[in-house]
Amino acid sequence: MTSYQNIEEEAVANWHKNGLRVPLFEVDLGQAVYHGNYFHIFELAREAFLRDMGYPYRRFMDQELHLTVVETTCSYRRPLHYDDLIEVHSRVLWWRRRSLAFSQNIYRLEENNEPSLCTRATLNMVCVKFSGKPTTIPDDFTTLLKAQDIQQIEQA
Amino acid sequence: MTSYQNIEEEAVANWHKNGLRVPLFEVDLGQAVYHGNYFHIFELAREAFLRDMGYPYRRFMDQELHLTVVETTCSYRRPLHYDDLIEVHSRVLWWRRRSLAFSQNIYRLEENNEPSLCTRATLNMVCVKFSGKPTTIPDDFTTLLKAQDIQQIEQA
Amino acid sequence: MTSYQNIEEEAVANWHKNGLRVPLFEVDLGQAVYHGNYFHIFELAREAFLRDMGYPYRRFMDQELHLTVVETTCSYRRPLHYDDLIEVHSRVLWWRRRSLAFSQNIYRLEENNEPSLCTRATLNMVCVKFSGKPTTIPDDFTTLLKAQDIQQIEQA
Amino acid sequence: MTSYQNIEEEAVANWHKNGLRVPLFEVDLGQAVYHGNYFHIFELAREAFLRDMGYPYRRFMDQELHLTVVETTCSYRRPLHYDDLIEVHSRVLWWRRRSLAFSQNIYRLEENNEPSLCTRATLNMVCVKFSGKPTTIPDDFTTLLKAQDIQQIEQA
Amino acid, res. B19? G
pLDDT for the residue numbered B5? 41
Contact A125, A102 (CB under 8 A): yes
Of the candidates D84, D93, A82, D72, the one whose C-alpha atom is nearest the C-alpha of residue C37 is: D72
Q: Is residue D85 assigned to a domain?
A: yes
Across chain D, mean pLDDT equals: 91
Inter-chain contact A36–C25, Cβ cutoff 8 Å?
Answer: yes
Alpha helical stretches, state H, C6-123: 38-53, 57-62
Chain A residues within 8 A (CB-CB) of chain B? 30, 32, 34-40, 66, 68-77, 79, 123, 130, 132
Bridge partners (DSSP) of residue D17 are D89
Largest CA distance in chain D: 50
Q: How far is A34 from chain C (nearest CA, A)?
A: 7
pLDDT for the residue numbered A3? 42
Chain C contact partners (≥3 CB pairs within 8 A):
A, B, D
Q: Which of the residue ranges A47-51, D41-45, D152-156 would you say has the lowest mean pLDDT?
A: D152-156
Amino acid, res. B77? R
Looking at the partner chain, which of C24, C29, C36 has a beta carbon nearest the beta carbon of A31? C29
What's the rounded Cα separation, in Å, for the pair D86 and D83?
A: 9
Inter-chain contact A31–C27, Cβ cutoff 8 Å?
Answer: no
Q: How far is A13 from chain D (nearest CA, A)?
A: 27
Contact A76, A28 (CB under 8 A): no
Q: Is residue B60 assigned to a domain?
A: yes
Q: Is residue D134 assigned to a domain?
A: yes
Across chain A, mean pLDDT equals: 91
Residue D153 has pLDDT above 50, yes or no: yes
User: How does DSSP classify residue C153?
Assistant: P
Confidence of residue D105 (pLDDT cuts 50, 70, 90): very high
pLDDT for the residue numbered D148? 85
The number of beta carbons lying within 10 Å of the beta carbon of residue A146 is: 11
Q: Which of the residue ranges A79-88, B111-120, C3-12, C55-64 would you say has the lowest mean pLDDT?
A: C3-12
pLDDT for the residue numbered B11? 52
pLDDT for the residue numbered D3? 43
Inter-chain contact D82–B25, Cβ cutoff 8 Å?
Answer: no
State the DSSP H helix or E strand holding residue D52, giving kind and residue range, or none if neither: helix D38-53
Confidence of residue D155 (pLDDT cuts 50, 70, 90): low
Q: Please state the pTM of the whole predicted model.
A: 0.93
Nearest chain A residue to C25 by CA: give it. Answer: A28
Number of domains in chain B: 1
What's the rounded Cα separation, in Å, for the pair A2 and D103?
A: 38
Task: Tell me the average pLDDT across B79-106.
Answer: 97
Nearest chain D residue to B29 by CA: give it. Answer: D29
What's the rounded Cα separation, in Å, for the pair A119 and C122?
A: 40
Looking at the partner chain, which of B24, B31, B34 has a beta carbon nearest the beta carbon of D25? B34
| Full residue range of the structural domain in which residue A82 is found | 4-151
Of the candidates C30, C31, C117, the one whose C-alpha atom is nearest the C-alpha of residue C81 is: C31
Confidence of residue B14 (pLDDT cuts 50, 70, 90): confident
Residue B57 has pLDDT above 90, yes or no: yes
User: How does DSSP classify residue B131?
Assistant: T
> Which residues of B fall within a CB distance of 8 Å from D28?
24-25, 27-29
Residue B136 has pLDDT above 70, yes or no: yes
pLDDT for the residue numbered D110? 92
> Which residues of D fall within a CB distance of 8 Å from B24?
28-29
What's the rounded Cα separation, in Å, for the pair B133 and B129?
A: 5
Contact A106, A88 (CB under 8 A): yes
Q: Is residue D156 assigned to a domain?
A: no
What's the rounded Cα separation, in Å, for the pair A8 and B107?
A: 38
Contact B26, B84 (CB under 8 A): no
A25 phi and psi, to 5 degrees? -70, -5
Give me the torsion for CA of C115, C120, C126, C127, rounded to 10°: -10
Nearest chain A residue to C29 by CA: give it. Answer: A29
Chain A contact partners (≥3 CB pairs within 8 A):
B, C, D
Contact B117, B79 (CB under 8 A): no
Q: Is residue B98 assigned to a domain?
A: yes
Contact C150, C90 (CB under 8 A): no
Q: Is residue C156 assigned to a domain?
A: no
Question: pLDDT tens for residues D5-63?
Answer: 444 445 546 899 999 999 999 999 999 999 999 999 999 999 999 999 999 999 999 99
pLDDT for the residue numbered C7? 46
Nearest chain C residue to D36 by CA: give it. Answer: C36
Contact B67, B42 (CB under 8 A): no
Confidence of residue C10 (pLDDT cuts 50, 70, 90): low
> Which residues of D fall within a CB distance of 8 Å from C74?
71-73
A–B interface: beta-carbon pairs under 8 A: 62
In this structure, what CATH number is given to the domain that contains residue A95? 3.10.129.10
Count Cα neighbours of A136 within 13 Å in the Cβ-side half-sphere.
Answer: 6
Instruction: Give the mutation candidate from A18, A22, A25 for the D interface (greatest D CB count, under 10 A).
Output: A25
Instruction: Give the mutation candidate from B27, B42, B52, B83 for the C interface (greatest C CB count, under 10 A).
Output: B83
How many residues are listed for chain A in this entry? 156
Q: Is residue A41 assigned to a domain?
A: yes
> Which residues of B fall within a CB distance of 8 Å from C61?
82
The percent of residues above 70 in pLDDT, for chain C, comes to 90
Q: Is residue A156 assigned to a domain?
A: no
Task: Tell me the average pLDDT across B86-115.
Answer: 95
Nearest chain B residue to C23 by CA: give it. Answer: B44
Question: pLDDT tens for residues C107-117?
Answer: 999 989 899 99
